[in-house]
Structure 1
Amino acid sequence: MNTPAIEVRGLHKSYGTHVVLDGIDLSVASGTVTALLGPNGAGKTTTVHVLATLLRPDAGTALVNGCDVLRDPDGVRAAIGLTGQFSAVDTLLTGEENLLLMARLRHLGSKRSKSRTVELLEEFDLVDAARTPLATYSGGMRRRLDLAMTLVSTPSVIFLDEPTTGLDPRSRHTMWSIVRRLVAEGSTVLLTTQNLEEADQLAGRIAVLDGGRIVAEGTPDELKRLVPGGHVRLRFATVVELEAASRLLVDSARDDAALALTVPSIGGVGALRRVLDRLDEGGLEVDDLTIHTPDLDDVFFALTSKKAEPGRVDAKGMIS
């Protein structure tokens, strides 16, 4: 079994009486993207800062690339790259100079620093702007440069703390493409975000934080199935078929004007097949059907409300 790139157990962090992290457990497999999703103050950035050795936890253990953040912080720092919420670029330097500076700080040596800078400028489409002042850079260009600086030493584990905040849709999609490419090349990414589409697009697994605790964890589809509201909408050609289907599917809601039935569903192929099998047994054909499953917006509001409690799942696998 492969060793996880990140392994966290019982992580606690408080400032006085204010508890920021309240027993976080998290495991991130190598070569994957895991997203930490949650509202402001949930503990996302604090978790990243502990893992990046910028903060000491009060209790618990955290391993990054097999190195303990307390016992071997140098080993952790050698393995990671961190892109924070705000671009950490020097506006008095050009893009090329920023990369060269970071390469020298990473002790790459003069020759390797120059070659690595050229590689990153090409990879992040910054060649034309390499020797221009950062005052001429757009927000998306600065963000790309910031990420390029993070990757100077080719880290195996990358922390991205809300990397697309404030970016326009085109720049955001460019950053997503870069993240996908990094993971395809073997990097591990821990992403914090409040952008629900971003988590859905990039993450293989999502951990939802609220009040310093992980209140749910799973793939995007698994989390969506926790939230009630999924349904199948069936439309029929005639009123007669609608009435017959309504008698077969007793839990459905009728829409006579649209000749449609709405059938509650927890999602999945099996649930849809059972509905269609019932209709086949009754000799009924569906004119059209649509499937609605809750999205991450629904998950976010259901799991980060003040009433949400970890582990509160009913018999159908839904949040109660």
Structure 2
Amino acid sequence: MVLAIVIAVVVVALVFDFTNGFHDAANAIATSVSTQALTPRIALTLAAVMNFVGALLGQEVAHTVSEVLDLEKADAKHALVIILASLAGAIVWNLITWYFGLPSSSSHALIGALVGAALASGSAYAVVHWSTILDKVIVPMVASPIVGFALAFVVMLSIMWIFRRKNPHKVYRGFRLMQTLSAAALALGHGLQDAQKTMGVIFLALVASGHADADAGLPLWVIVCAASAISLGTYSGGWRIMRTLGRRIIHLDPARGFSAEAVGAAVLYTTAFVWHAPISTTHTITSAIMGAGATKRFSAVRWGVAGNIVAAWVLTFPAAGLAAAIMYWILRLIFQV
């Protein structure tokens, strides 16, 4: 029975990874498509390839995710049910926000779901490492959008000053070409961040079931499977969310699109390699789009749409946690743990 649940966890984790890919596909390419720097299909192909490559570049974020919960008090079967409920809850919230076109965070949905399922199971079975969540999730969750907004604003102001005497049409043509690089860099950061979160959950399940050592590195098959799942999900596309990011927040030009993507990529790399924090690609690029767009004038940003996005950000952690708690109670009855 334990082996069957392990297999179920791996399959559901890869399904979550796939939904993460199509949910967040817009992150890397919405600006490039909306500025007509890339066609949608070329942009999706580029994002899928770079997602796969990015997923192979590190394991730091994966280990952070695997350390969110301590499941040593639970037997293998119960621990796996908690993890399975977490994944199911995160998928439910991903699908809800995808349906309504809200670019919420798959990362925070997963962390919130892990916490929700753990709390539902009670402290006798799972212990939440709140210090890890505060240092590696909450603080970066608040800091990354602020940094993304401010940096994109400054970068775009610098571009406006540097090219102030140049022909705007020639400048925009150059930045359309540059957006191929910035979109690729952002997609690489997305794979580096988000695929590792799935790897971390699978690794947590393997450790809980005795199939892996907590101090060992991630198995190669886990890395390749997670990278493939998020890449395929990205190629499937997230058109609803792409419209929100690319057009409804603000109408972007190539220079502002490049600024947002370049800053978003820089924040993703820094938090992954330096802070080892599983931050939200969605939060980062959305705030960067707002920051770059605000250089036109603050009223150019559709703050009502931005407010709806912020509301989804705030709701994600508790809503995914509640969904995971409900899934835990259902799965506990099914598996009789």
TM-score for both structures, normalised by structure 1: 0.24
Q: Which has the higher contact order (CA 8 A, sep 6+)?
A: 2
TM-score for both structures, normalised by structure 2: 0.23
- Which structure carries more strand by proportion? 1
Give the greater-gyration-radius structure (CA): 1
